[in-house]
């Protein structure tokens, strides 16, 4: 999911947001501070990454990389991308997020994208690499290296019970209560949201057998490049780091090669959940296992296989995967659900989203 909890409030009115924040400040101060994790992403939502997907393409022998950005994308069919910046898909060939790998970039000027490729999976902030093609916003194009792209505004692919998450985590962190009743309503807040989507299909011949992927966004601000956001596993900051504002800020503005320093935060929140649930035989061992699994924060994928992000295993992430159920289940160590299941906007054909047609809105 998405990396900025600001998106969870876009569907609420001002009074509702204010009341909810007041409530959460009383019952769970650490969670209340977590909703707006990045000042930059709040100021520049066009560079706020909300989801990353890595999955087997409809076209045989291709892998799709899809990034959703800008939770403030309007309903008029116009995508909300930003100029003077760069959106990057970092594709590592090993979990250590070392230099081996590639970074595929997209940068926008006017209505035209420039797509580039840089050596190394951890290309520096602002690096665009060597340009291999250009395409207009809203169009599909195949380049000479076989890479196929599409960009545009679409219905938000994330499905999740945000009210349930707020209630569950609020009680878990603020009151020491494990209460799944917060998910009883099962309302999917995102069913009426929009996102701006960057989709890149890459020939498997360019990739090794297994990859580890994360996304980042950066913009040129006040004579320097700054990283606005980075994201891989959904809900990592919202749930596994929800008790530590400083760690969340460090996570968002740094790269996977520094993630080991935040394992204690992920392990700590997981341990709190499984102990309060009371059903785990070895809670400390499980919490440490989860920290090692979620960090460094990259999505693993066996190239050429069927992608699936679930409690049982993480192998890429398909837009139709129930990511909130998966992460909730990983957090507590057993399968649970948020009861939000409006999977009606997840086509399995290119471009794997429902583009916004303003005439039908």
Q: Rounded to an integer, what distance in angstroms lies between the CA atom of residue 130 and that of residue 253?
A: 24
Inside any domain, residue 132: yes
pTM of the model: 0.89
Inside any domain, residue 78: yes
Q: Rounded to an integer, what distance in angstroms lies between the CA atom of residue 169 and that of residue 214?
A: 25
Give the residue numbers spanning the domain of 213.
5-341+351-360
Inside any domain, residue 260: yes
Inside any domain, residue 209: yes
Q: Rounded to an integer, what distance in angstroms lies between the CA atom of residue 328 and that of residue 183?
A: 11
pLDDT tens for the 361 residues of the chain, in order: 444 444 433 333 333 333 333 333 333 333 322 334 578 888 999 999 999 999 999 999 999 999 999 999 999 999 999 999 999 999 999 987 567 999 999 999 999 999 999 999 999 999 999 999 999 999 999 999 999 999 999 999 999 999 999 999 999 999 999 999 999 999 999 999 999 999 999 999 999 999 999 999 999 998 999 999 999 999 999 899 876 778 888 899 999 999 999 999 999 999 999 999 999 999 999 999 999 999 999 999 999 999 999 999 999 999 999 999 999 999 999 999 999 999 999 999 999 999 997 654 3
SS3 for 218?
A: strand
**pLDDT value of position 22:** 34
CA distance readout (Å), 126 to 109, 115, 129, 131: 15, 13, 9, 14
Q: Rounded to an integer, what distance in angstroms lies between the CA atom of residue 178 and that of residue 80?
A: 39
What number of other Cβ atoms are within 10 A of residue 31's Cβ?
Answer: 24
Inside any domain, residue 346: no
> How far out from the chain centre does Cα 256 lie?
14
Report how far apart the first and last C-alpha atoms of the chain are (Å, whole number).
25
Q: Phi/psi of residue 258, each to 5°?
A: -110, 5
**pLDDT value of position 39:** 81
Structural domain count, the chain: 1
Q: What is the dihedral of CA 98, 102, 106, 107, to 10 degrees?
A: 60
Inside any domain, residue 162: yes
**pLDDT value of position 70:** 94
Eight-state DSSP code of residue 317: B
The two three-digit tokens of residue 55, written as one number: 């999955």
What number of other Cβ atoms are within 10 A of residue 167's Cβ?
Answer: 22
Question: Alpha-carbon torsion 261, 102, 217, 150, what sign?
Answer: negative
Of residues 82, 56, 31, the one with CA closest to residue 237: 31
**pLDDT value of position 88:** 98
């Amino acid at each position: 999911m998405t990396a900025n909890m600001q998106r969870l409030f876009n569907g609420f009115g001002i009074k509702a947001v204010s009341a909810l924040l007041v409530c959460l400040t009383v019952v769970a101060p650490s969670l209340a501070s977590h909703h707006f994790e990045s000042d930059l992403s709040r100021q520049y939502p066009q560079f706020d990454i909300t989801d990353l997907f890595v999955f087997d393409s409809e076209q045989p022998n291709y892998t799709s990389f899809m990034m959703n950005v800008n939770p403030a994308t309007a309903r008029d069919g116009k995508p909300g991308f930003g100029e003077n910046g760069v959106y990057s898909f970092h594709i590592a060939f090993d979990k250590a997020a070392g230099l081996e790998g590639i970074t595929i970039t997209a940068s926008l000027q006017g209505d035209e994208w420039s797509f580039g490729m840089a050596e190394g999976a951890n290309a520096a902030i602002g690096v665009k690499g060597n340009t291999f093609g250009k395409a207009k916003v809203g169009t599909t194009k195949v380049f000479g290296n076989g890479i196929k792209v599409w960009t545009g505004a679409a219905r938000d692919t994330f499905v999740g019970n945000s009210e349930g998450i707020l209630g569950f985590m609020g009680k878990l962190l603020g009151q020491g209560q494990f209460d799944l009743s917060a998910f009883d309503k099962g309302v999917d807040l995102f069913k009426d949201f929009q996102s701006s989507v960057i989709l890149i299909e890459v020939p498997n011949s360019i990739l090794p057998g297994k990859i580890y992927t994360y996304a980042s966004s950066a913009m040129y601000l006040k004579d320097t490049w700054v990283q606005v956001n980075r994201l891989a596993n959904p809900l990592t900051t919202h749930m596994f780091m929800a008790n530590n504002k400083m760690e969340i800020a460090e996570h968002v503005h740094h790269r996977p090669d520094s993630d080991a320093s935040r394992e204690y935060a992920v392990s700590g929140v997981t341990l709190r959940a499984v102990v309060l649930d009371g059903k785990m035989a070895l809670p400390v061992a499980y919490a440490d296992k989860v920290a090692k699994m979620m960090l460094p924060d990259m999505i693993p994928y066996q190239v050429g296989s069927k992608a699936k992000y679930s409690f049982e295993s993480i192998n890429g992430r398909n837009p139709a995967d129930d990511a909130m159920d998966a992460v909730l289940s990983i957090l507590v160590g057993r399968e649970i659900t948020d009861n939000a299941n409006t999977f009606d906007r997840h086509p399995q054909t290119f471009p794997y989203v429902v583009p916004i047609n303003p005439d039908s809105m």
